[in-house]
Amino acid sequence: MPATEFLSADDIHLLTEVGMVGAGARLHVDALALFEALAVLRPGRDFPWIGQVAVWLNRGQADEAVRVLQQGCQCAAQAPEHGPTAHSDDLTLLTAFLGFAQHMARRTADSRQTMQAVLAMPYHPHAHAMAKDMLGLTNQNTLLTPFQEPST
């Protein structure tokens, strides 16, 4: 068993849930430490990076969320190096969250470009739905996307 495999998938799942509860309860330091440790254990996966982003966005630090997601995307892009714990569509989901974080950081042009790139990546239902919604490519005519201006 490799050194990073001493925790079972159930253990990792439980720790991820605990981290998300901590992020939601504003226990930012503890949640961030937990997600950073999970990123060391599962660097090619999406959940430790998205957990860190939840903490940074809850703290109102979208620029830091962008930085973390850029790092997470680099790790996921190198996923074959990380063996059986990597999932091929994790990069797609991380990239969609990067586009969202860029939008939250008021980097609208970067966000739009990132979301367009998501649609060209391997299919992930949540990532593609997020990108389509933010780009205004869904059939919901009553909602404005972040990139649409209200009509007068």
Tens digits of per-residue pLDDT, 61-72? 999 999 999 999
Quick one: pLDDT band at residue 142, thresholds 50, 70, 90? very low
Rg (CA), the chain: 16
Residue 96 has pLDDT above 70, yes or no: yes
Judge contact between 22 and 34, C-beta under 8 A.
Answer: yes
Euclidean distance between CA atoms 86 and 64, whole angstroms: 24
Q: Which domains does the chain have, with CATH numbers?
A: 3-135 (1.25.40.10)
- The alpha helices in 42-122, defined as continuous H runs, are 47-58, 62-77, 90-104, 108-118
pTM for the model stands at 0.83
Task: Tell me what percent of the chain is helix, strand and coil, each rounded to the nearest 5.
Answer: 70, 0, 30
Residue 80, pLDDT score: 60
* Percent of the chain residues topping a pLDDT of 70: 82
Element (H, E) at 30: helix 28-41
Tens digits of per-residue pLDDT, 30-81? 999 999 999 998 888 999 999 999 999 999 999 999 999 999 999 888 866 5
